[in-house]
Amino acid sequence: MKEMLEMDYDAYFVGTGAPRGRDLDLPGRREVDEHISIGIDWLSSVAFGHTTSIEGNVIVMGGGNTAMDCCRTSKRLGAETVTVVVRSGFEVMKASEWEKEDAMSEGIPIINNRPPKEFVHENGKLKGVIFECVKPIEEGGRLKYIPTGEPDVFIECDHILMAIGQENHCPWIERDIGIEFDKWDCPILDEVTLQSTHPKIFFGGDSAFGPENIIWASAHAHQAAISIHLMCQGKDPKSDRPPEGLNLISQKMGVHEWAYDAEHDASKRYLVPHANRRRSLENIKVEVELGFDEILGSREAQRCLNCDVQTVFTEKLCIECDACVDICPMDCITFTANAEEDRLRNYLTAPASNLEQALYVSEELETGRVMVKDEDVCLHCGLCAERCPTNAWDMQKSIIHIPQLGSYAE
Say which entry of ligand FAD, ligand SF4, none residue 311 contacts (CB below 5 to 8 A, set by partner kind): ligand SF4
Instruction: Using the minimum distance from each CB to ligand FAD, give the nearer residue, 38 or 385.
Output: 38
* CB proximity list for 202: less than 8 A, separation 6 or greater: 11, 12, 13, 14, 193, 194, 195, 196, 224, 227, 228
Percent of the chain as helix, strand, coil, to the nearest 5: 25, 25, 50
CA distances from 356 to 127, 152, 172, 278, 375 (A): 48, 40, 44, 42, 11
- How does strand 81-85 pair with strand 57-61? parallel
The answer to whether the beta carbons of residues 137 and 176 sit under 8 Å apart is no
Out of 11, 16, 77, 88, the only residue in the binding site for ligand FAD (CB under 6 A) is: 16
* CB proximity list for 33: less than 8 A, separation 6 or greater: none
Instruction: Using the minimum distance from each CB to ligand FAD, give the nearer residue, 134 or 161.
Output: 161
65 binds ligand FAD (CB under 6 A): yes
CA distances from 277 to 53, 109, 183, 284 (A): 19, 17, 45, 11
Instruction: Using the minimum distance from each CB to ligand SF4, give the nearer residue, 96 or 314.
Output: 314
Instruction: Using the minimum distance from each CB to ligand SF4, give the nearer residue, 29 or 345.
Output: 345
In one-letter notation, the amino acid at residue 347 is Y
In the complex, minimum distance from the CB of residue 57 to ligand FAD, in angstroms, rounded to a whole number: 22
* CB proximity list for 389: less than 8 A, separation 6 or greater: 319, 321, 323
Region 117-176 residues binding ligand FAD, contact defined as CB under 6 A: 172
Instruction: Using the minimum distance from each CB to ligand FAD, give the nearer residue, 94 or 252.
Output: 94
In the complex, minimum distance from the CB of residue 19 to ligand FAD, in angstroms, rounded to a whole number: 6
* CB proximity list for 165: less than 8 A, separation 6 or greater: 21, 22, 62, 64, 211
In the complex, minimum distance from the CB of residue 18 to ligand FAD, in angstroms, rounded to a whole number: 7
Say which entry of ligand SF4, ligand FAD, none residue 393 contacts (CB below 5 to 8 A, set by partner kind): ligand SF4
Say which entry of ligand FAD, ligand SF4, none residue 214 contacts (CB below 5 to 8 A, set by partner kind): ligand FAD
Element (H, E) at 138: strand 134-139
Out of 15, 136, 210, 242, the only residue in the binding site for ligand FAD (CB under 6 A) is: 15
Region 199-228 residues binding ligand FAD, contact defined as CB under 6 A: 205-207, 211-215, 217
Closest CA to 74 of 48, 42, 102, 101: 42
60 binds ligand FAD (CB under 6 A): no
Element (H, E) at 100: helix 97-105
- How does strand 393-401 pair with strand 309-313? antiparallel
- How does strand 393-401 pair with strand 245-250? antiparallel
Report the SS3 class of residue 363.
coil
Say which entry of ligand SF4, ligand FAD, none residue 62 contacts (CB below 5 to 8 A, set by partner kind): none
Say which entry of ligand SF4, ligand FAD, none residue 52 contacts (CB below 5 to 8 A, set by partner kind): none
Instruction: Using the minimum distance from each CB to ligand SF4, give the nearer residue, 254 or 291.
Output: 254
In the complex, minimum distance from the CB of residue 114 to ligand FAD, in angstroms, rounded to a whole number: 22
Task: Catalog residues that contact ligand SF4 under the rule CB under 6 A.
Answer: 311, 318-324, 328-330, 332-333, 373, 378-384, 387-388, 390, 392-393
Out of 32, 43, 348, 352, the only residue in the binding site for ligand FAD (CB under 6 A) is: 43
> Could you say which DSSP state residue 130 is in?
E
DSSP per-residue letters across 307-330: TTEEEEE-GGG-----HHHHH-TT
In the complex, minimum distance from the CB of residue 317 to ligand SF4, in angstroms, rounded to a whole number: 7
Say which entry of ligand SF4, ligand FAD, none residue 383 contacts (CB below 5 to 8 A, set by partner kind): ligand SF4
In the complex, minimum distance from the CB of residue 350 to ligand FAD, in angstroms, rounded to a whole number: 38
Instruction: Using the minimum distance from each CB to ligand FAD, give the nearer residue, 209 or 393.
Output: 209
Out of 58, 60, 66, 179, the only residue in the binding site for ligand FAD (CB under 6 A) is: 66
Say which entry of ligand FAD, ligand SF4, none residue 217 contacts (CB below 5 to 8 A, set by partner kind): ligand FAD
Report the SS3 class of residue 126.
strand
User: Which positions touch ligand FAD (CB under 6 A)?
Assistant: 15-17, 19, 40, 43, 65-66, 69, 172, 205-207, 211-215, 217
